Structure 1
Amino acid sequence: AAVFAKTGTCGNCHKVNGVGKEVGPDMSEIGGKLTREALLESILFPSAAISHNYETYVVVLKNGETHSGILISQTAAEVVIRGADALNKKFAKAKVLALKKDKLSMMPADLQKQMSAQELVDVVAYMTTLKKAKK
Structure 2
Amino acid sequence: SKSNPSLGIQSARAIGNISLKVNETDQISNIYKTLETASPIQINHLLKPFRSLNSEEINQIEKSNKNIQTLLNPSIDDDTDRKKTLESIESTMGIGNVSRGRAVFFSNKSTCALCHSINGNGGNLGPDLSKLGAIRNKKDFLEAILFPNSTIVNGSENYIITTLSGQTYTGIIQRENSEFIYLANLNNTRQAIHRDKIKEMKRSPISLMPTGLNKTLNNQELSDLIAFLQSCK
Shared fold (TM-score greater than 0.5)?
yes
- Correspondence 1:62 to 2:175: no
Greater Rg, structure 1 or structure 2?
Answer: 2
Offset from partner CA, 1:80-130 (integer Å, 9 cap, x none): 111123442111223221111122211111222221221111101111100
Instruction: Provide the rounded CA distance (Å) in 2 between the counterparts of 1:42 and 1:35.
Output: 11
- Correspondence 1:5 to 2:106: yes
Q: Which amino acid aligns with 1:82?
A: A
Instruction: Provide the rounded CA distance (Å) in 1 between the counterparts of 2:103 and 2:193.
Output: 37
> Where does 1:48-87 land on structure 2 (aligned, <5 Å)?
48-87=150-189
Aligned mate of 1:100, from 189, 202, 206: 202
- Correspondence 1:91 to 2:189: no
Tell me how many residue pairs correspond in the alignment: 131
The percentage of aligned residue pairs carrying the same residue is 31
Say which SS state the counterpart of residue 47 (structure 1) adopts. helix
- Correspondence 1:16 to 2:114: no
- Unpaired runs of at least 5, structure 2: 1-101
Instruction: Provide the rounded CA distance (Å) in 2 between the counterparts of 1:106 and 1:73.
Output: 17
- Tell me by how many angstroms 1:68 deviates: 1.1
Instruction: Provide the rounded CA distance (Å) in 2 between the counterparts of 1:44 and 1:110.
Output: 7
Q: Which has the higher helix share?
A: 2
Say which SS state the counterpart of residue 150 (structure 2) adopts. coil
- Tell me by how many angstroms 1:75 deviates: 3.2
Instruction: Provide the rounded CA distance (Å) in 2 between the counterparts of 1:2 and 1:87.
Output: 26
Tell me what 2:231 maps to: 129
- Tell me by how many angstroms 1:64 deviates: 2.4
Question: Could you tell me the TM-score, scaled by structure 2's length?
Answer: 0.53
Instruction: Provide the rounded CA distance (Å) in 1 between the counterparts of 2:209 and 2:162.
Output: 20
Question: Could you tell me the TM-score, scaled by structure 1's length?
Answer: 0.89
Higher relative contact order (CA 8 A, sep 6+): 1
Q: Which has the higher strand share?
A: 1
Tell me what 2:145 maps to: 43
* 4+ runs deviating over 4 angstroms: none
Q: Which amino acid aligns with 1:67?
A: Y
- Unpaired runs of at least 5, structure 1: none
Q: Which amino acid aligns with 1:112?
A: N
- Tell me by how many angstroms 1:10 deviates: 0.3
Q: CA RMSD in A?
A: 1.4
